[in-house]
Amino acid sequence: MSNEILYVLLPDYAGHEAVYLSQAIASDDHALKAPPMYINKVVAPTMDPVRSIGGFRTIPDYSFETMPEDYAALVLIGGFGWSTDIAEQVVPLVKRAMAKGRIIGAICNAASFMARHGFLNAVSHTGNGLEQLQLWGEEHYTNAGGYVHAQAVTDRNIVTANGSATLEFAKALLLLLRNDTPERIDMYYQFNKEGFCALFPQN
């Protein structure tokens, strides 16, 4: 299996939803020693730069046409693009990832997109609230009973999260990828969630 982690970015992607996962992948203890366990790669509709909501322009490593057949995980980063026509191009990518049993992450509007295409009907999951999933999913979303009101939910190889849950999303995927020990992954989570001054009140 390839060790690449593919981040799918659509125009107006939510930068905060990609940073904690990608940073941990690239800078944990293991990654600081060669060879790295995983490599982050950006996938976008074309090879043109893709702009975040905040206006940062990111250069893709792959387009939907040039992305590799194999990879370790497919991570759909939220943002405003998931309600546009361009998101339809991601449907076959997710179908292939599901057929291969690859790890899939979907956060915020990308989780709503998953609901819209019936991809959450066989797994426990979360997203930007049940109402949003039902609104986006319409008749294609038949698994309201599988909705869990939690920051992030892992069921088998699928991780979903709401848009405020970038740290919980990262933690769940890091655990699934066995990127580090559970203790070290939790330390990374706690440090960023609680903050340096809460964890170390004396200085």
Smallest distance from the beta carbon of 189 to a copy of itself, in angstroms?
A: 11
Name the strand (E) or helix (H) holding 73.
strand 73-76
Name the strand (E) or helix (H) holding 160.
strand 158-161
37 phi and psi, to 5 degrees? Answer: -75, -45
Binding site for a copy of itself (CB under 8 A): 7, 14-16, 18-23, 25-27, 39-42, 49, 52-59, 128-131, 147, 149-151, 162-165, 168, 191-192, 194-197, 200-203
Amino acid at 145: G
CB-nearer residue toward a copy of itself: 70 or 194 = 194
SS3 category, 180: coil
Set 25, 67, 77, 108: catalytic member = 108
d(CA 30, CA 183): 14
CB-nearer residue toward a copy of itself: 1 or 197 = 197
CB-nearer residue toward a copy of itself: 157 or 190 = 190
Angular region, 12: left φ>0, alpha ψ -120 to 50, beta rest: left
Query: Would you call 197 a catalytic residue per the annotation?
Result: no
Give me the active site residues, please: 108
